[in-house]
Copies of this chain bind each other. A is one copy, B any other.
Amino acid sequence: MKQALANLRNGKFVLVFDNESREGETDFVIASQFVTPDAIKRMRKDGGGLIFLMTSHAIAQKLQLPFLADLFSNVSAQYPVLKELIPNDIPYDTKSSFSLYINHRQTFTGITDNDRSLTMKKFAELTKSIENMDTITAMKHFGKEFRSPGHIPICVASEKLLKERKGHTELVVALLHMAGLVPVGSGCEIMGDSGKALSKEDAKRYAEKNGFTFLEGNEIVRAWNEWSG
């Protein structure tokens, strides 16, 4: 755990496997304040899943970021198709943590390594800069720099963090808190060659070969309980 936190502080990747009884998936994780175009390239080439942001419930509240599932549910009278598409059957958890998709306003298409890196790094910087602002001012600052729809989904951790949900978003926000970093992480699921997610054993081998720390959800929960308790 110590090594993983040190690596995060040094802008390095950590590999996080959630749990056999959840997604059973390993994600690349890096603190967004240190993300680079090369890190995006690594995630898309060796990971291949969705490249996404993770942040804390507190930051989402400050920015009034809604969960997309809640927003859709609330406006389904105006948009009846949303009522039909209600995500009431997610197999690995009760609720999706997806909020809005954003692009930094300085991006061009929003999808290149340079653009995705910029959006993510700037979002981490923004969350730092709004710390002492009220929510109206914080939203204005957010909107000055970012637009939505965009290419980077923001996943928002549950309010009670690991006590409520043990997804990658909560695990990563806990790690960043313990590392003393801005609680904004960048991640990407690691796919295998067989049509499925890369197996835990293969992900461990990949981590070893490339010098990345490999963490399991259970270890993070244990460390978090000690640290926060």
How many whole Å from A72's CB to the nearest CB in chain B? 7
| Residues of chain B contacted by A82 (CB below 8 angstroms) | 100, 148
B50, B109, B142: the one contacting A23 at CB < 8 Å is B109
- How far is A41 from B47 in the complex, measured between Cα atoms in Å? 11
Contact A193 B41, beta carbon cutoff 8 Å = yes
| Residues of chain B contacted by A66 (CB below 8 angstroms) | 79, 81
Interface string of A18-45 (1 = CB under 8 A from B): 0000010100000000000100010011
| Residues of chain B contacted by A151 (CB below 8 angstroms) | 50
Contact A85 B196, beta carbon cutoff 8 Å = no
Q: Quick one: copies of this chain in the complex?
A: 2
Within 120-158 of A, Cβ neighbours of B (below 8 Å) are at 139-140, 142-144, 146-151
Q: A45-B48, A149-B96 are known contacts. Are A142 and B191 too (CB-CB below 8 A)?
A: no
Contact A112 B197, beta carbon cutoff 8 Å = yes
Interface string of A67-103 (1 = CB under 8 A from B): 0110110110011111111111111100010101011
Contact A85 B193, beta carbon cutoff 8 Å = no
The 6 A-B pairs of least Cβ separation, nearest first, read A84-B143, A114-B195, A85-B148, A37-B195, A87-B147, A44-B48
Could you list 30 A-B pairs, sorted by A, with CB under 8 Å?
A23-B108, A25-B109, A41-B193, A45-B45, A45-B48, A64-B80, A64-B81, A65-B81, A66-B79, A68-B149, A74-B78, A75-B75, A81-B142, A83-B143, A84-B140, A84-B142, A84-B144, A85-B100, A85-B102, A85-B148, A86-B147, A87-B103, A88-B147, A89-B105, A91-B108, A96-B149, A109-B197, A111-B189, A111-B191, A114-B195
